[in-house]
Structure 1
Amino acid sequence: MQNLNRADVARMNSIYGYLPQLSASATYSEIDQEVVQSDNAVFNEGTANYPVTSLRVDLVQPIFNLSQIFNIQLQTTAQTVAEVEYIAAVQRVSFDIFVAYVDAAQARAKARSLTARAALLRSQIAAENTRVELGLDTAAVRNNYAVELASLSSEEAIEQARLADALAELSQLTGTTVTNIDTVTLPSGIRRAERSTSIAAGIAAAEDDNPALLATAISVVEAELSRRQAIAADFAPVLDAFASFEDETREGSRFGGGSQTRDTTVGLRLTIPIFNADGQGYRTAVETVDLRSSALEYFAIRRQLRSQITSTYERMSNLSDAIAQSQSAVSLASRNVTLERNRVASGESTELAVLNRQLSLNSAQDALEFQQLEYLKAWGRYQFLTGASLQARGL
């Protein structure tokens, strides 16, 4: 925002460069004169000491200054760049908040899944303890469950740390203290969103709407205007009209009497740069290099954007396939839990088998939720890359 404000001020200052330049000055001097030697008999009158008061007003009006004309266009373009960069910054922060929020949701969901799995393992360990006491099994199976439980506790601690980091990042990005988030799910309207677009459509949308790319493209125009301004400053003539008024009062002189004079001067001044006019060499060569750099940066960012859109689109497609497989796995695992419970009710199975089925269901649900949130992040990244606003999507 401050860059935008600065660009607006710079544009106004460039306009002032073509407006009249008016200045006034007042000077008070004490003059002590002594004629040491002169062939002029009048000048040999002797010495004098007197004050002088001078009032002066100067007015300069540029008539033709090609460099200033290009500077006005340059600063107007720079203001447009600042506006687009502001929009890009807003979208960047919005996307960063979106990603941090989903990361926090993933960490919390993973931690809860691990907690539920740990509870199932504790139930399995308790059941194995009973089997060991009855001599129906050895301690090896129970110990394996204990090892897995310890590993789950370690993973849960890591996910809690990830959650804390994501909440801290959200606090930093939003400027508020964030201690908790709402539950995040994949909206039904976003599922299989890649089917409604294509890589080519995404690239075309990015070239039209991605503010970061647009800002770089306009920067190329800005660099070209800067080069033209440099050419004008180095080689173009400048025509100014000027006027001055000076009122000078002398209280004395070498000739014994004081005087008051008023001088009015009006004229035209034509300045023609011939060689190294300002003693700084030629800006044109430097600005030409900057123009090439701006063009190279634009093409580099456009190539990078195309690559990112392609990879993000493919990631969305792969995640959609993975989600479909995970949904099938959850459905089958849930059906197995129901079947195993029915077998327990009929005396054909045990609660330990049900716990094993529930562990499989927990793992399948965990994978499905993770993939859905990963798809949500990929979808958000695709919107960001193509220049779509996440706020406009209600997120």
Structure 2
Amino acid sequence: MEKIRKRGISASVEASIQEKAQKALTSTEKKRKIAQNAEIKQAEVELPVGLEELLKSTLERNSKIAAAANNIDRASAERMNAILGYLPQVNAVYTYERLDEKVISSDNAVYQLGRANYPVETADFSIEQPLYDLSRIYAIEYAMTTRKKSEVDYLAAIAEASYKVYNNYLVAIQSKSRMKSLQKRQRFIDRQVSGQSVLDTNGMGDEGALASLRGNKADLNAEESLEAATYHEALTDLARLSGLVVSDIKPIKFPSGFIGLEDGVDIEQGIAEAMHHNPRMLSSALQVTASEQRYKQAVMRDYMPVVSSYLTMEDEKRTASRFGGGSHTRDATLGFKVTIPIFNATGAGYVNATMAIDAENAAIDYHALVRELETQLRATYRRMRELSKALRSLREVVAQNLKAYRNERSKLKNGETVDLAVATRELSLNKAVERQNYYQVEYLKTWGQLQYLLGKNLMDQGLKQ
């Protein structure tokens, strides 16, 4: 292990890994289509992308959604295999042998040749039909439930991916907006620094105030860098989720009349509907059913008898025999078989013991998800109400700061004040607008979370640019 750690992977091994992987990635037509779909044309990513475009690309290119879609095909195949398990098993076998037999001693006169060497051709045809096998019946029910669950998991994958795209898009919008605001505030501080410098030239400056302004600008510069990091991290997440190379995003306009949407939501009714419509909840419920069916299947396999019928036909040709002559025989056998498990019939113990635990775990997960979903819905609903209150207050804050700014500008035109005072008012207005924009996007994020928790499709409710 030490040698491997120090040596690492050699260039030849890396090349071999890549070569084999590329062959495997293009070994079938479907894999080639997957690779083709993963290719990104430069024209697709030169311009800023909007939320609708990202959501559409997510539906087409997101790897988890694609995997969930493939799982539907797999579940369909498993369902068909379970059904085939109760249909007749038909086999045909052809055998060619050459027998060399030497009689060493015998008191039977027919072994007069002493030695025989001859070919034997055998053709077998058999049909076996299960007549009574409860474990196979439960296997069919389990496979059908799993097929339904795969469809729900596909919808859950779409819901989760679209919500993550929606949320990361708004995070990027928030960071981009705040970066612009911080840049604007730095320009305001530059104006204030310039004003202080003029006062300092006239002997009226305040060295402490000037140092404080420069410190504030450095602090704003650091905040801008942090916001830039958050912005690019959000773009990276959007690229991973949507399958596009995202370098910039389009702005959004806060929908008019959007505040207070939670007033039209009956949270108790919403919780009840979420238990029936949320894909995660449905998937968990189907998992409970599937685990119970799996447990019953194991019980039937461990304890219940199996009844089957069979038909075998054998055609055998021997050109010679130990008796000195050849033969051609044809046998047909029709029978019924009853298999009763007595003790450790499969040689693997009793599977139902572990299946019972899996069924109990599925029930535990279901009730935990019910509590989690209800708690999240109530918390999200309360958060929307509080954000609505904050936004109504911030509207008044922005209005008052705008009034003060306009009043200060009027004074400047009349020569009653200086540009430094106007810059201070403008800085206060900028801070108020920044807070308002931030909470508006927070409200949109919380609204999106509420829709996701309620089981509604954000693909159909994307914001318009």
TM-score by length of 2: 0.83
| CA shift digits 1:319-343 (9 cap, x unpaired) | 1111111111100000000111122
Could you list the runs of 5+ residues in structure 1 that have no partner in the other structure? none
How much does 1:45 deviate? 4.2
Distance 1:47 1:15 in 2: 52
Aligned pair partner of 2:185 in 117, 123, 128: 117
What letter corresponds to residue 334 of structure 2 in structure 1?
A: V
Residue 236, structure 1, aligned to residue 304, structure 2: yes
CA distance in 2, matches of 1:203, 1:129: 61
| TM-score of the superposed pair, with normalisation by structure 1 | 0.97
Partner of 1:260: 328
Name the CA distance, whole Å, in 2 between partners of 1:138 and 1:361. 24
Q: 1:104·1:162 contact (CA, 8 Å) conserved in 2?
A: yes
Instruction: Supply the distance in 2 between the matched residues of 1:66 and 1:190 (Cα, whole angstroms).
Output: 57
| Cα displacement string for residues 284-342 of structure 1 (whole angstroms, at most 9, x for unaligned residues) | 21111111100000001111111111111111111111111111110000000011112
Q: CA–CA distance in 2 between the matches of 1:158 and 1:283?
A: 55
Q: Could you tell me which residue of structure 2 aligns to residue 128 of structure 1?
A: 196
- What is the CA–CA distance in structure 2 between the aligned matches of 1:386 and 1:21, rounded to whole Å? 47
For residue 116 of structure 2, what is the aligned residue in structure 1? 48
User: Given the alignment, which residue of 439, 445, 449 partners 1:371?
Assistant: 439
Runs (5+) with no aligned partner, structure 2: 1-68
* 1:286 alignment partner, one of 346, 350, 354: 354
Contact 2:198 2:205 in 1 (8 A): no
Q: Which residue of 57, 60, 69 maps to 2:128?
A: 60
Q: CA deviation at 1:275?
A: 2.0
1:343 maps onto 2:407 in alignment: no
Q: Residue type matched to 1:75 in 2?
A: A
Cross-structure match for 2:137: 69
Alignment of 1:173 onto 2:173: no
CA RMSD, Structure 1 to Structure 2 (Å): 1.2
Against the structure 1 CA distance between its residues 57 and 189, is the aligned structure 2 distance closer, same or farther, given a 3 Å change threshold?
farther
Shift of 1:44: 5.0
Q: Following TM superposition, by how much is the alpha carbon of 1:199 offset from its aligned partner in structure 2, in angstroms?
A: 2.8
In 2: Cα distance, 1:259 partner to 1:10 partner: 46
2-side partners of 1:185 and 1:163: how far apart?
A: 18
Distance of 2:348 and 2:240 partners within structure 1: 46
How far apart are the structure 2 equivalents of 1:229 and 1:344?
86
Partners of 2:132 and 2:206 in 1: CA distance:
100
Worse overlay, 112-121 or 184-193? 184-193
Instruction: Give 1 or 2 for the bigger CA radius of gyration.
Output: 1
Equivalent residue runs for 1:140-179 within 5 Å: 140-179=208-247
Write the letter of the residue equivalent to 1:186: F
1:322 aligned onto 2:409: no
**Deviation of the 1:139 alpha carbon:** 2.1
Q: Deviations over 1:200-234 (max 9, x none)?
A: 12211210111001100111011111111111111
Deviation at 1:51, TM superposition (A): 0.9
Letter paired with 1:135:
G
Find the aligned partners of 1:208 and 1:39 in 2 and give their Cα distance.
83
Q: Deviations over 1:344-366 (max 9, x none)?
A: 22222111111110010000000
User: Equivalent of 2:272, from 169, 193, 204?
Assistant: 204
Give the secondary-structure state (helix, strand or coil) at the position aligned to 2:297. helix
| Equivalent position of 2:92 in the other structure | 24
CA distance in 2, matches of 1:245, 1:359: 96
Amino acid at match of 2:161: V
Paired letter, 1:381: Q
Shift of residue 189 of structure 1? 4.5
**Distance between the aligned counterparts of 2:368 and 2:253, measured in 1?**
36
Quote the Cα distance in structure 2 between the aligned partners of 1:56 and 1:340.
104
Q: Secondary structure at the match of 2:205?
A: coil
Name the CA distance, whole Å, in 2 between partners of 1:190 and 1:339: 31
How is 1:33-44 mapped onto 2 (pairs within 5 angstroms)? 33-44=101-112
2:149 aligned with 1:81: yes
Kept after mapping to 2: 8 A contact 1:37/1:44: no
Equivalenced residues, count: 395
Supply the distance in 1 between the matched residues of 2:294 and 2:211 (Cα, whole angstroms): 74
In percent, how many aligned pairs have the same letter?
Answer: 38
Contact 1:117/1:362, CA 8 A, preserved across alignment: yes
How far apart in 1 are the matches of 2:153 and 2:314?
A: 50
Residue deviations 1:77-123 (CA, integer Å, cap 9, x gap): 01111110110011000000001100000000000000111111111
Secondary structure, aligned partner of 2:337? strand
